[in-house]
Chains A and B, each alone.
Chain A
Amino acid sequence: MTSMDTVRQVHPAAKMYAREFKQGQMSRREFLARTTALGMTASAAYVLGGLGQPAQAAGHAQRGGTIRLQSEVRAHKDTRTYDWTQMAYVTHGTLEYLIEYNNDGSFRPMLLEGWEVNDDATEFTLKVRQGVTWNNGDAFTAEDVARNITRWTDSTVEGNSMAARMASLADDETGQAADGAITVVDEHTVVLKTKRPDITLIPGMADYPAPVVHSSYDPNADLSELVGTGPMQVVQNEVGVKAVLEKSGHPWWGDEALEGGGWFIDRLEIIDYGQDPAAWIAAAESEEVDVFYETVGDFIDIMDAIGWQKSDVATGSTIVIRPNQLAEDENGNKIYGDKRVRQALAMAVDNAVCLELGYADRGLVADNCHVGPVHPEYDDSVTRLPHDPAKALQLMEEAGMADFEHELQSIDDDWRKNTTDAVAAQLRDAGINVRRTILPGSTFWNDWTKYAFSSTNWNHRPLGTQVLALAYKSGVAWNEFGFANDEFDTLLAEANSIADVDARREVMGKLQAILIDEGVTIQPYWRSLYRHSAPNIQGADAHIAYLPQAYKWSLSA
């Protein structure tokens, strides 16, 4: 890559990881995720780990042309309140990111040149990339970075989801960045001091609601006037219909700073074909689009059949079919308060069957603990309760729930419905009474955390502790399990303060064991994501977290 990583010291933990990796104690993905999160560039990590760098076709990419992407086009809103990745697709050619998260689990500096983390993950030194300018001519400096991070930290803005990611920089009372948390040291250096060890800060900055905006940014202004560091401008953004990004003439810093450069295409059209995949297929067959946002379900085979290229990536996206421990029946008794009932539900279900029937075997079987092989701190020695329908029925009888009819609810869609059906069928096979209720998408989310027994899909997150903190910690807003366990909370807080991944894995193993033993949820599989693109398109690969990276796309000659 460039010279930016030559003078930097290698973090001592990174050297240790390299040793462990070479001894075979750590997977390639884990190694990359951990070392790059410590501030190492991906290429340095490859060198340190003695890995061959992945071949990049980008160097030979042809410049020019238009690519048409099938994707929903949603109304723009304040970037930090983005709640759909599709919104970021429209702006990502203009508003760029500090850090990029990649499919191999690594973090690559973009508008930063790099960063350093101290040993207990409480102090982050961000090096701002030099020579980058905004498309109005202003220079991009440390002030811009500090201002954006301050903006993200502000939790008083309604719907600002970045605030949760930056919470360790915030003052709990004012909801704003704490005094001294964000310091501009010089024109190209920003130092962040967190109030507690925070391993998720860097991954948080790579997420889709974190585009870097100019000081003049106004969420209500016309998108064509957007000031950003990227080479594209939004020339059209018609909600539900079409958005168009075009080269604005502003040179891209990445052509010099990144190997192989980027933004090969002159124009990206994002065309909305609604929510029905059949319409996407019709568009592909009519040669009206070149790239899909995502290919789902049976349509993957159809797209293979018509000769498009398939790209897939295993992720941490998943589904949970969970009882809510606080749910009550008509007599006010807690239906799932008894651990045996929950364990019985989990034991009656073979996760591989759910994967096969619910998601056509497109993924990996999981172990009911919502942490998996894509997460660096996953402990693979902890496994699920054995699949044993007879034991399940016995437990159910012991708990006095043999005659109870469980109501299992799901949203009305393809894979979520099918997976939930597969669970219901297996419960019935085990002798447990189940009634299925399917709710339309428009009403399902109104009460999604409160259903007694229902399924919910969860997106991928880079670190294992992240979902646990969002959904399993006692009393958090998205705790749909009604799960409250002091030991779990204490261990989770401990895990979150360990920068060293191996040490964290020991704690994670205990966390996984608690979730499994308490029968908190059935979490049958990890989904793979798929994206198809026309045969003449290069580089439009599926992304593990759906992040927009059209700068890698090009048309082949």
Chain B
Amino acid sequence: MANKNPSTSISPRAPEPPALSESAAGLLRELVAHLRQNRTQLREEWARRITRAELLTAMTEEEIFAEATAVYDNYVEALETGTFEALQAYSRRLSERIIPRGVETDEVVGIVLLLRDVLARSLFTKYQDNVDKLNRILDSYEPAANRIANTVAVGFVEERERIIRQQQEAIRELSTPVLQVRERLLILPIIGVMDPQRARQLTEQLLRAIRANRAKVVVIDVTGVAAMDSGVANHLVQTVEASRLLGATCIVTGLSPEIAQTLVTIGVDLSEMATVGDLQGGIEEAERLLADRSVLPAPREPGTDTSR
């Protein structure tokens, strides 16, 4: 290994014939030494360019600098060791910190590409007199740098997706309440997007609630549902039929004009389903049905349910 002197910004004039036989690992080591040597300067340059490019506007300059330092060190370490686990873990933690502050994917990709750019430029400056060596250094630098950029960006996106999944789950749980209006009458207000998974969950909750509350009539209100495809509509029909098997009558209310049109156009058979215009009408209809069953057995105390 030739004795390198990376601190000089202008490369020495020596032609260095043994460099030709230097391994990629050797070049990478040289590169890492260079990056370590110029850590302060390159890091500052990077932070400056982040600010100038108006990336990470959600963060203060001090924060940008602190994160830039950490990313820089992890970056160099990943270059040196060729292992990406530490960087992956770091980018995950970083994403956890910055996603809630509204940092976007393009910003993260942008800063990593900027760093790549800053480092590449410093290499150009250092080896500008030795194009051959510059080429070989870039040969070992670029694949590693690309992989690092990839790792950080993927880490960020994965974290985002994880958060989105988590939130979807939370919304799902929040948005499917089964409410008892009065003895034997339940309302199921459905709000938001119906996907197959949510529809399934909704059905399970409803059927369980019918048994737990000994419901006779259920009003399913879909005023808050923007669109419905044939899968979900069929699922709704199935829910109504399953409820009937448990002895409960379903009334569907609040089908919007768009949904009504869609359902008729795609030919879902809703003839078996009782539908009423709005929730108020649905509850009135339900009260009527309940009053009809004038000889209902006296409602029992909770806890005396003989069914499983």
Whether A and B are associated in the same complex: the answer reads no
